[in-house]
Amino acid sequence: MHKTQIVFPFLLTLIIFASCKYKTPEYTRVALLEVEGRFLYLDQVQQIIPPNVNETDSIEISQSFIRKWVTDVLMYENAKRNVTNQSEIDELVESYRKSLTIHQYQQKMIEQRLPKEPSEEDIQAFYTEYSDQLVLKENIIKGLFLVVPAKAPKMANVRSWVQTANSKSLESIEKYSIQNAISYDFFGEKWMYFTEILKRIPIQVSDPSGFVVTNRFVETSDSTQHYFLRILSFRNVGQVEPYEMAKDKISTILLNKNKTDFITKFENELYDDAVKNETVSFFGKK
């Protein structure tokens, strides 16, 4: 049943009640009720009802929404009649309106006049100058991770392929994995956090930094699966973050800086031009 058909019987009495009021609602919409000169319309209630909802839930949602809407209107109107510092509220509203309008204008100028992303040259220059501040907080590795059933065939070959990890053995692993592997990840060109790999292999590592230094090949198993990990390269906590990992972070830093510099420059130019063109009138002695 369509949600309009579900809601309509419940709201019919509200429509009849509203039609008796002296206020005039929008003639293109179906008014459900009026309170303090404000109208609630059928389409507003329909919008908050999820599709394919049953009749009972639809009525409950409608009643809750209507009650909240009426209560908010009554509370607001009562507050206006009883709050004595309305001028302060008006000032706050105007201040917020001004700030919001300025912000929207600034964002529009930024979109029109600033590049979407910093240049590669700027990112590289930042990385070179501030690399001592781009320090790893976690160990990272490049390598491959292979999981096969405990009774998978050619286990000796698989072990040799993983240990070697050259182009020929990687090709062999790829072919083998299609039919035999439970999962296979080669991340020789991309850094991964070592903790993410540890979540997938049943070993206990108390010293991750020392582990990646002394264990370039790891093999272990449980009752159902056999695990192979080959670490091709690593960087430990405290070392400089690789450029390919730091790039996105640097881009965000530079983009925010460019926005701030642009707004500051624009504001200064706006003020200087206003003074030069005598848009600003200063009173008193110069």
Nearest to 40 by CA among 13, 61, 70: 70
Tokens of 164: 């070697």
- How sure is the predictor about 81, in pLDDT bands with cuts at 50, 70 and 90? confident
What pLDDT digit, counting tens, does each position of 117-144 carry?
999 999 999 999 999 999 999 999 999 9
Checking if the pLDDT of 23 tops 80, the result is: no
Cα separation, 172 vs 158, in Å, equals 8
Tokens of 272: 């200087």
| 84-86-91 Cα angle (round to 5) | 145
Mean pLDDT (the chain, rounded): 89
> Which run of H or E residues covers position 163?
helix 155-164
- How sure is the predictor about 20, in pLDDT bands with cuts at 50, 70 and 90? very low
Q: What is the pLDDT of residue 283?
A: 84
Cα separation, 267 vs 4, in Å, equals 52
Checking if the pLDDT of 165 tops 60, the result is: yes
**Beta strand 183-193 pairing with 140-149:** antiparallel
Cα separation, 259 vs 246, in Å, equals 20
- How sure is the predictor about 21, in pLDDT bands with cuts at 50, 70 and 90? very low
Structural contact between residues 239 and 132, judged by C-beta atoms closer than 8 angstroms: no
Give the amino acid at 149. Answer: P
Percent pLDDT > 90 in the chain is: 76
What's 241's DSSP letter? P
Three-class DSSP category at 190: strand
